[in-house]
């Protein structure tokens, strides 16, 4: 009868460690984060780039109606109507109105309405032609008064402009 050879555990482990092996770990389940899409202007009345005319009946400037949209329905949208900007000119450029609309479950957001007014919007005297800028973003604007349409780097902003004729005294 042949004798059975006894193999010591440390020798067996050293031998097994030298053999090629493949260990396949359980893969993690990855989910892509939601992409951040920029806000857009879905409609504007009058059209972006138009010259605003005085309403005959009311005797005041024609207002602007704008609908913003964002595919990220939960994003809060920040908007500013800025008069005579860019560039920033002290005592001329003015933040006429700003608004933050909360996110919800709709891509298109409620309408924004703005009508330039000499007294309420502190429109500069001595000019008859003015620029109205709408700046909208899904992040808050800078607090820097000389950069009224600036958002933090890497974030989205959409802008639209109109011209209007109004002589403020």
Q: How far apart are the C-alpha atoms of 127 and 92, rounded to whole Å?
A: 10
What is the mean predicted confidence (pLDDT) over 72-98? 94
Q: How far apart are the C-alpha atoms of 88 and 164, rounded to whole Å?
A: 18
- Indicate whether 146 pLDDT > 60: yes
Q: Which domains does the chain have, with CATH numbers?
A: 40-165 (2.60.40)
Give pLDDT, residue 32.
65
What is the mean predicted confidence (pLDDT) over 103-128? 91
Nearest to 41 by CA among 22, 71, 66: 66
Higher-pLDDT residue of 163 and 12 is 163
| Residue-averaged pLDDT of the chain | 85
Give pLDDT, residue 29.
73
Q: Is 53 exposed, middle or buried (0-12, 13-18, 19+ CB in 10 A)?
A: exposed
Q: Is the peptide bond before 86 cis (omega within 30 degrees of 0)?
A: yes
pLDDT tens per residue across span 23-68: 666 777 776 667 889 999 999 999 999 998 766 455 555 789 999 9
Q: What is the pTM of this model?
A: 0.76
- Any bridge partners for residue 41, and if so which? 68
């Amino acid at each position: 009868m042949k004798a059975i050879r006894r193999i010591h555990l440390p020798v067996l482990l050293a031998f097994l460690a030298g053999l090629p092996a493949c260990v396949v770990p359980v893969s993690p389940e990855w989910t892509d984060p939601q992409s951040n899409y920029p806000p857009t202007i879905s409609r504007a009345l009058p059209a972006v780039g138009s010259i605003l005319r005085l309403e005959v009946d009311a005797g005041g400037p024609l207002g602007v109606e704008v609908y913003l949209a964002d595919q990220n329905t939960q994003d809060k949208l920040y908007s500013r109507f800025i008069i005579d900007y860019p560039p920033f000119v002290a005592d001329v450029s003015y933040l006429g109105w700003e608004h933050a609309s909360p996110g919800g479950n709709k891509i298109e957001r409620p309408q924004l309405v703005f009508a330039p007014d000499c007294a309420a919007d502190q429109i500069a005297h001595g000019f008859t032609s003015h620029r109205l800028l709408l700046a909208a973003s899904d992040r808050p604007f800078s607090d820097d008064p000389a950069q009224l349409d600036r958002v933090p780097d890497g974030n989205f902003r959409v802008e639209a402009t109109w011209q209007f004729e109004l002589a403020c005294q």
